[in-house]
């Protein structure tokens, strides 16, 4: 394939993508690059139908009406979040989901993700100078566990109860790491009121 024909092919593909985006109600700037197009695609807001497929964080990934879903021969592709999270499976099989939708008409299906590095992650939003505190159960000594508070402060060796003060308000990801066993945080204090997600290591 010549360089000129490849350029023409890319221009045609870009034009087709522009048309598809505009049909979804997306305004495409005339100066948009291919990288910009990728961001625009990610920003499309899906309209929830009878059967909705959600990411681990509640983002709507795919949606079908009941008749469309009945025609599927496989569940839609999983969406990975490398380098941190790997998509493992949907929480329904296709056969189970079709049986449920045929009976009840609608269903929400969720994607299950595991941390790639086997760390447990806690996502939370805090105020400036807010202190958070948490504890958890573990089957190894706490000295084998480290905590990254997600704000650039040094990692700490874990204790049975762990506290930290965030100087700046915002969203943070606490990462609890061990090479020995999975950790399941179980004792959240009131200061942990703004937890948005917990992704357990595996």
The pLDDT tens digits for 70-92 are 999 999 988 887 777 778 889 99
Q: Is residue 130 part of a domain?
A: yes
Using the 3D structure, point to which of 100, 115, 130 is the last residue of a domain: 115
What's the pLDDT tens digit per position in 114-156?
Answer: 777 777 777 788 888 888 877 766 555 555 678 899 899 998 8
Strands 170-177 and 184-188: unpaired
pLDDT category of residue 171 using cuts at 50, 70 and 90 = confident
pLDDT category of residue 65 using cuts at 50, 70 and 90 = very high
Burial class (CB in 10 A: 0-12, 13-18, 19+), 113: buried
* Structural domains counted in the chain: 2
CA 113, CA 90: separation in Å to the nearest integer? Answer: 9
Residue 6 pLDDT more than 60? Answer: yes
Q: Is residue 104 part of a domain?
A: yes
What mean pLDDT is reported for the chain?
Answer: 76
Q: Is residue 135 part of a domain?
A: yes
Q: 45-57 as b/e, with b when 16 or more CB fall inside 10 Å? A: eeeeebbbbbbbe
Domain with 73 in it: 51-115
Contact 166, 129 (CB under 8 A): yes
Contact 143, 136 (CB under 8 A): no
């Amino acid at each position: 394939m010549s360089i000129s024909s490849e350029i023409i092919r890319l221009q045609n593909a870009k034009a087709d993508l522009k048309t598809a985006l505009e049909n979804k109600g997306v305004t495409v700037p005339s100066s948009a690059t291919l990288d910009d197009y990728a961001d625009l695609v990610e920003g499309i807001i899906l309209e929830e139908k009878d059967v909705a497929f959600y990411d681990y964080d509640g983002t709507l990934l795919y949606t079908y009406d009941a008749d469309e879903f009945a025609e599927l021969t496989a569940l839609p592709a999983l969406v990975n979040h490398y380098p941190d999270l790997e998509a493992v499976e949907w929480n329904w099989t296709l056969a189970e989901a079709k049986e449920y939708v045929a009976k009840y008409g609608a269903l929400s299906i969720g994607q299950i993700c595991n941390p790639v590095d086997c760390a447990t992650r806690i996502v939370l939003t805090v105020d400036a100078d807010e202190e958070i505190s948490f504890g958890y159960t573990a089957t190894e000594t706490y000295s084998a566990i480290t905590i990254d508070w997600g704000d650039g402060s040094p990692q700490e060796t874990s204790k049975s109860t762990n506290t930290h003060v965030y100087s700046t308000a915002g969203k943070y990801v606490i990462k609890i790491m061990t090479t020995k066993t999975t950790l399941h945080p179980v004792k959240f204090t009131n200061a942990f009121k703004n937890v948005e997600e917990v992704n357990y290591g595996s």
